[in-house]
Structure 1
Amino acid sequence: MMRAMAATSTTAPVGVRSAGVDLLRIVGIAAVVVGHVWTDPVTRAAVYPWHVPLFFVLTGYFWTPGRPMAGELRKRWRSLGLPYVVWFVLLFAALLAADAATGEVAEGAFRNALYGGSAAVRPFSAFWFVSVLFLLALAYRAVERFPVAAWALALTGLAVAYLAPEVVTAGPLGAFLVPACLVFVLAGRLLRQLRPHLSAPVAAILLAVGAGLVVTGLSAPLDLKAGDFGTPVLGVVTAVLISAGLVTLAEELDRRTTPGAARTVNRLSACGIAVVLSHAAVLWVLHTPPGGGWPHLAAALLLPWAFALVALRTPASPFLLGTDGPGRR
């Protein structure tokens, strides 16, 4: 969610990161944490229709065509695979220690953590997203030269998800979710093509239409980890409309962002992968109930982000944050 999606803005010179999109990533990560703290219908309606699809859309939006598969694998391993493995080892060790100390770790927790995907729960709640994004990038790289085949794969995967969600959630590391999630990457590629024609007012309309579909109940929230892509067709359309509106409006912020603010936002965004992978551990330690609580949210946001900001300046940053080194993205 971060380095995995290069952030060159259409409103900024080539090679310059979009502070607006980095800010959007921060908001999206915070929404993911909110969705893990509270599970009530209002919270689900507010964040689930868009918070995870947004990052898949961004993957397509900032896609670099033509990169060799070996290069794609190296890039995604550095930005996603390595942090996944490192955080998994750390949290698995913590789970072992907790089991040795209390004996209260749920039966099957270790097996489910190793299997990953939809089977993994606290402290590994969001690991499925990172593994799916990793596999999704490789899958799209394999089919990017064949757009018809890519759309056929995505729509077939989406149909399977609607008809048999238990099938798409059965794979290790969430692998069977990849074909259905490919539809969001393809939508991101389409958004990139249309972006020059999208103004802020148009983006606001897209966002309003997507939100309206949710508020009226016409489009049910998505829960991709559970293989739930919402109301057939409308759920995906809603996610794409909201994501397109947010991305466009975020890039419009670049003209209004000072260099100092942009650097701060960039640093916070660079911490994103660590927050995604570690925030559920905080909720696990706090035994956060389904009803959640503001102290739990504050802890799950502030502690991982503070830790990651420190790690960003150390030699550990490539392992914990997927960066190129201290202070670099």
Structure 2
Amino acid sequence: MIPIRAPMPTPVPPLHRRQPALDVLKGIGIVAVVVGHISFNRALVAQIFMFHMPLFFLVGGALHDPATPQRAYLLAKARSLLLPYGCFLLILWPLELLLAVPDHSAGGRWTWTLLGAPLLFGGQRLTGFASVFWFVTCYFLTQQLVHLLLRRSRLPVCAAVGGLMLVLAWLLPELALPWGAQVVLVSAPLYLIGYAARQVDLARWLPVSVLLTGAALLLNVAGVANTFDLKAGQFGVPVVTLASALAVVAVLAVLAARIHASVAGRVLAALGGASMTIMFLHQLVQLTMAKQLGVMAAAPRVLAALLLCYLAHVLISSSPLASRLLLGRRPRAPATGVAP
């Protein structure tokens, strides 16, 4: 009699190879960012701030490839992050000032204090239309630091450095540096965790993640400040808020993997693919609706910000020059008629 073998379980692909699911996850993240900046529901905003920015650093770590030489990596990320940052900032920050200080009542201070210093130092000095631009420079610095660590050190050493950075972040919450560099003390450990966890089958840990997520949500409901406000240097309850963010993102990652082929998944994936453009432009849309058009209701501002910013992303993508300057994409090589 031939023994019957149980079927082998289908292997779960590593997280960094599930690009459609990661696009959905980024879509969930960017929707959370927009809602978090617009919603009047303080309880909802508290829950969103627990995970929405850590999500992007975790996803970045999951996608990271340390094989690229440091100089080439620096140049590539300067093109894809700093070039769009500079272009959008030069457009939106003067516009913000013209609307905020239309009569130039600050006199000579208008030039440096209100215009020059924020353009140069960024980070916490940027408000209004450019209030979220700190993320881009912080993300750039995080990637460069982690790339250097991963190329020169083993993962346990990187973990020790990340742990030390978290301790410093909790000890120095009032630290303020140009480009939001102080946030790197938290964002780099998050990025490293994303890199280390990219081979983990998150579905196997779903019951634990759901349990921890429920506990984290209850802490906020109970009034515990279990949230991150990375730009402001508010890093929540040491260890607890970090664990809360990891649990929520793990649950959302499993959800993203399960819905990526659905209509909702495809919509979220499209928004995820445009997440950086939405990051740059959503404050312009929603604040203009509120301050200039008098639209105060949250729902239409959220929908308009997502839709108009996505359409702007599509429009920018259609122009080689605009996509190079505002999306940081490489110019396409001209066709030679020779098969590769």
**TM-score normalized by structure 1?**
0.81
Give the counterpart letter for 2:162 in structure 1.
A
Could you say what secondary structure the match of 2:198 adopts? helix
- Kept in 1, the 8 Å contact 2:40–2:298? The answer is no
Tell me the equivalent position of 1:161.
169
Tell me the equivalent position of 2:180.
174
Could you say what secondary structure the match of 2:50 adopts? coil
Q: Show structure 1 runs of 5+ residues with no match.
A: 1-9
- Kept in 1, the 8 Å contact 2:46–2:227? The answer is yes
Counterpart among 179, 192, 195 of residue 189 in structure 1: 195
Give the counterpart letter for 1:275 in structure 2.
I
The alpha carbon displacement at 1:193 in A equals 3.2
- Kept in 1, the 8 Å contact 2:138–2:183? The answer is yes
The alpha carbon displacement at 1:227 in A equals 0.9
Tell me the equivalent position of 1:45.
46
- Kept in 2, the 8 Å contact 1:279–1:304? The answer is yes
Tell me the equivalent position of 2:22.
21
* Alpha-carbon distance between aligned partners in 1 of 2:35 and 2:133, rounded to the nearest angstrom: 16
Give the counterpart letter for 2:143 in structure 1.
A
Tell me the equivalent position of 1:35.
36
* Alpha-carbon distance between aligned partners in 2 of 1:219 and 1:154, rounded to the nearest angstrom: 23
- Alpha-carbon distance change, 28 to 74 in structure 1, aligned in 2, over 3 angstroms: same
The alpha carbon displacement at 1:300 in A equals 2.5
Percent pairwise identity:
30
- Alpha-carbon distance change, 179 to 16 in structure 1, aligned in 2, over 3 angstroms: closer
The alpha carbon displacement at 1:112 in A equals 2.7
- Alpha-carbon distance change, 305 to 109 in structure 1, aligned in 2, over 3 angstroms: farther
The alpha carbon displacement at 1:46 in A equals 2.2
- Kept in 2, the 8 Å contact 1:153–1:179? The answer is no
- Kept in 2, the 8 Å contact 1:219–1:238? The answer is no
* Alpha-carbon distance between aligned partners in 2 of 1:278 and 1:173, rounded to the nearest angstrom: 18
Could you say what secondary structure the match of 1:192 adopts? coil
Tell me the equivalent position of 1:147.
155
The residue correspondences of 1:226-265 to structure 2 (distance < 5 A) are 226-254=232-260, 257=261
* Alpha-carbon distance between aligned partners in 2 of 1:221 and 1:209, rounded to the nearest angstrom: 13
* Alpha-carbon distance between aligned partners in 2 of 1:88 and 1:118, rounded to the nearest angstrom: 14
Deviations 1:292-324 (A, max 9, x none): 633332333222222112222222223222344
Tell me the equivalent position of 2:337.
none
- Alpha-carbon distance change, 314 to 12 in structure 1, aligned in 2, over 3 angstroms: farther
Tell me the equivalent position of 1:5.
none
* Alpha-carbon distance between aligned partners in 2 of 1:251 and 1:63, rounded to the nearest angstrom: 19
* Alpha-carbon distance between aligned partners in 2 of 1:104 and 1:51, rounded to the nearest angstrom: 37
Give the counterpart letter for 1:139 in structure 2.
L
- Alpha-carbon distance change, 210 to 74 in structure 1, aligned in 2, over 3 angstroms: farther
- Alpha-carbon distance change, 120 to 193 in structure 1, aligned in 2, over 3 angstroms: same
The alpha carbon displacement at 1:285 in A equals 2.8
The alpha carbon displacement at 1:267 in A equals 4.0
The alpha carbon displacement at 1:279 in A equals 1.3
* Alpha-carbon distance between aligned partners in 2 of 1:13 and 1:253, rounded to the nearest angstrom: 17
Counterpart among 128, 134, 137 of residue 134 in structure 2: 128
- Alpha-carbon distance change, 22 to 103 in structure 1, aligned in 2, over 3 angstroms: same
1:311 equivalent in alignment to 2:313: no
Give the counterpart letter for 2:284 in structure 1.
A
The alpha carbon displacement at 1:283 in A equals 3.5
- Alpha-carbon distance change, 292 to 239 in structure 1, aligned in 2, over 3 angstroms: farther
* Alpha-carbon distance between aligned partners in 1 of 2:264 and 2:284, rounded to the nearest angstrom: 30
* Alpha-carbon distance between aligned partners in 1 of 2:128 and 2:114, rounded to the nearest angstrom: 9
Tell me the equivalent position of 1:88.
89
* Alpha-carbon distance between aligned partners in 1 of 2:217 and 2:323, rounded to the nearest angstrom: 37
Query: Which of the pair has more CA radius of gyration?
Result: 2
Tell me the equivalent position of 2:7.
none
- Kept in 2, the 8 Å contact 1:45–1:221? The answer is yes
The alpha carbon displacement at 1:104 in A equals 6.9
The alpha carbon displacement at 1:74 in A equals 2.9
Give the counterpart letter for 1:239 in structure 2.
A
Could you say what secondary structure the match of 2:127 adopts? coil
Deviations 1:72-123 (A, max 9, x none): 2133223322211111111134245446844378964322343111221111
In the alignment of these two chains, the number of paired residues is 311
Counterpart among 286, 299, 303 of residue 304 in structure 2: 299
- Alpha-carbon distance change, 72 to 195 in structure 1, aligned in 2, over 3 angstroms: farther
Aligned-residue RMSD, C-alpha: 3.2
Tell me the equivalent position of 2:273.
270
* Alpha-carbon distance between aligned partners in 1 of 2:123 and 2:15, rounded to the nearest angstrom: 36
